[in-house]
Structure formats: C-alpha cells, structure tokens
Amino acid sequence: MKLFKSKLAFLSPIIVLVVVLVFGLTLIPSVQPTPKNLPIVFVNEDQGVDIPNQGKVNMGKTIADMIQKTSQSTSGEEPAVKFISVSSYQEAKKGLDHRDYYAALVIPKDFSSKQASLRGPKPISPEIEIVVNQGINTAGSTMAGTVLNGMVDQINTNVRTQLLKAFEVQGGTVTTKQAAALVSPITKKVINVNETGTNSMNGNAPVSLFQPLWMASIAGAVIIFLTLSKVRFATRKEKFSALIAQVLMGAVIALVAGFGLTWMADAIGVHISQFGDTALFLSLACYSFFLMISAVLSWTGIKGVPIFVIMLFFGAPLLAMAPEFMSPFYRDWINPWLPIRFLVEGLRDLFFFGKNFSWNHPTSVLTWIGVGSIVLIFASVVKFRSRQEEKSAAM
C-alpha cells in the first residue's frame, strides 16, 4: 500500500510521541503542588498585663516566639509558610491590599489582660483575628487560612492544658463560667478581605476569562496575517501602509473581543462590578496579545502559531496557582515570562481589590508588550522585496 511507502506515515508514531511528551509536561505543575514560603503577616498589638508575683506578661510575644520556632524547618527544606512581622494592623492591611500576603494573624491589644482573667471569677476569652486575603489566589488564601486555623487550635490546646494545671494547683474548684471558658479559651475571629464573592467562579473568574481572550487574539492575528499574505505589494511603501492597516484593524478586533467577552461573562452570571473598566482592560490585553502574535508571524510566518498554542497549554495550569506552590523551575523560569499572567493579575485587581482601569503594573506591562510588538511589525518591512528586486534576483 502507498501509505506504508510514505516517510511521514512511518514518522507519525514518533511525532505523536513527541506531542504527548510535550503536552504531558503541562501536567507537571498540577501534580501534588506544595507551598513553599507562603507569606503570612503577623501583627502583635498586645500591650501585656501586670500580674502579681509575675510582673509584666505579654502573651502576644510568647505567641510570636512560638510562631518563629514553628515556621523554621528542621529538615533544611523551605518552610510551608513564612511569617512576616509588622507593627500595626494598618501596615498589614496595606500589604494585603497590595497582594503581598495571603493572610494575617492579629493579636489585639487586650489579649494578655483577657487571658489573665481566665483564672479569675469573671473570665473573658481573648480573641485572635485571622484575616484571609481571598482575592489574591484561591488556593493560596485557602491554604493560609487552614494553617492559621490549625495554629490557633494548637494554641487553644496549650492554653487549656495550662489552665487545668493552674486550677489543679488551686484545689480543682472551677466555676461554671470558668468551665465554659475552658471549652475554647481563645476565640477565633475570621475576617475575609478583598472577597471573591459568590458569582466569581469560586474566585477563578480572572483565570477563566483568559482562555477565550487568548484564542480570540490568536484567531484575529492569524486571519489578518493570512489575508495580507495573499496580497501582492509593488513597493515597500505599500507594504508599510498595509502594516499600518493591520495594526489599526487589531485595535478594532480587540475592542470587539474585550467588550464582547465582558458582556458575555456578565450575561452568564459572573459578577462584573466595573463593566467599562473591565471591558477596556480586556481590550488592552487582547490588543497587546494580537500585536505580539502578529509580530512573531511577521517574522516567522504561519509556523509561529504553535508557539502560542503551547504557551496556552503550559500557561493555563500556572495561572490558577500561587507562585509559592510552583516548583523552582516553573516559578523562576516559566511564570515570570508568561505575558498572560498580567491579564489575570489585572483582572484580580478589578474584580476583587476594588481598583479601576489605570496605569498600574499589569497595564504598563501589557502596553509595553504592545509597543515593542508594533516596532517589530513595522521592522519586518525590511524583509519585503519589491517586484523589481524579485526580477533582479531572478536574472
């Protein structure tokens, strides 16, 4: 049969194996991701209390020392969480709003005085605040909240043991109020900031919106490129004019994609608090991607398309992950160079952090990607050969 005489037919199993191996590598980031140095901010505002025969006691400092010991890895590996101490809740809140921390553990001013009251006739349970920064990343903030809840539970167990020993020394008499306080000597107050809400695809709306926008950018760039490739230009001036039209057409495509995707997301129930700002940002991102893809195609031809398809498959698993969950290779060498991550970061600011469409880090990066791409697109005119040059080369 002619099929078995074809070299391509014999190479097909090898090609399929290469495809499986290449795209199989995209699964690596999702296999048992474990956090390393997940940043959590710690605030100790405890003013302490004077106890007879003991002097000044500051239980907040005791907890801070315990946190420092538990966060240190004994195996030599990087710890799962990294506590950063700041002096005030205002400073911690600023870091949470700037996406520096996934959560905060706050010891209030009256913590020691209330804890000291647990041994008296009128016990008042002290309170620890756990502040979870939901909008920064669903997996990261959930993990941080779990760690802090477990830590407070452990503190509760230790305090309960100490109180029972103290009551035993006093003769074992415990009032009804003291017994009630022993159930949970320290109460937890969990506060969610920069909340993802109920209609945000479990906080993954920014990640979910990237794929249709990315595919729209590829489709638009390929269609315009193929259209231009069928046109014969007599001079470089004609070619340059066509490139200007390509850039302008990309802007129209981007606006249609940005506003269309925002309308569709809103129509299917995704909470879009700032329709105009979201649509403009998506349009900017789409235009930036369109220009970047067009710049590559202008130098490589249609052979450059697989680059962006591979970028889609390699980038998608990383976008939903916190950098602290990635392996060092993906965190240091893949994630920083993914242009699509700036789209997700910008959408997080708009969806969960109450920011407007403005000149911030994601916007500036996407803008400069677009500017650099425009330069490359126009520079590709040097490859163009006029009809006269083609005739001369043929002679």
Q: Indicate which CATH number applies to the domain containing 146.
A: 3.40.1710
- The answer to whether position 5 is within a domain reads no
pTM higher than 0.85, yes or no? yes
Residue pair 185/117 in contact by the 8 Å Cβ criterion = no
pLDDT at position 247: 97
Number of C-alpha atoms within 13 angstroms, CB side, residue 32?
0
Does one domain contain both 123 and 236?
A: no
Residues 306 and 357 in one domain: yes
Q: Are residues 289 and 323 in the same domain?
A: yes
**Residue 11, φ and ψ in degrees, nearest 5:** -85, -15
Judgement on whether residues 179 and 237 belong to the same structural domain of the protein: no
- 172 and 212, same domain (yes or no): no
How would you label 96-113 residue by residue, b for 16+ Cβ within 10 Å and e otherwise? bbebebbbbbbbbebbbb
DSSP class of 326: S
Are 181 and 71 within one domain? yes
Query: For residue 85, what are the β-bridge partners?
Result: 42
Q: For strand 49-51 and strand 55-57, is the pairing parallel, antiparallel, or unpaired?
A: antiparallel
Higher pLDDT, 98 or 21: 98
Query: Of 64-78, 147-161, 190-204, which range is least confident?
Result: 64-78
Separation of first and last alpha carbons in the chain: 44
- Domain of 186? 38-193
Q: What is the mean pLDDT of the chain?
A: 87
Count of the separate structural domains present in the chain: 2
In which band, very low, low, confident or very high, does the pLDDT at 43 lie, cut at 50, 70 and 90? very high
- Cβ distance 314 to 334 under 8 Å? yes
Phi, psi angles (nearest 5°) of residue 293: -65, -40
The residue out of 162, 193, 224 marking a domain boundary is 193
Which range is least confidently modeled, 39-43, 53-57, 379-383? 53-57
The reply to whether 123 falls in a domain is: yes
The residue out of 173, 193, 213 marking a domain boundary is 193
Residue count of the chain, please give it: 395
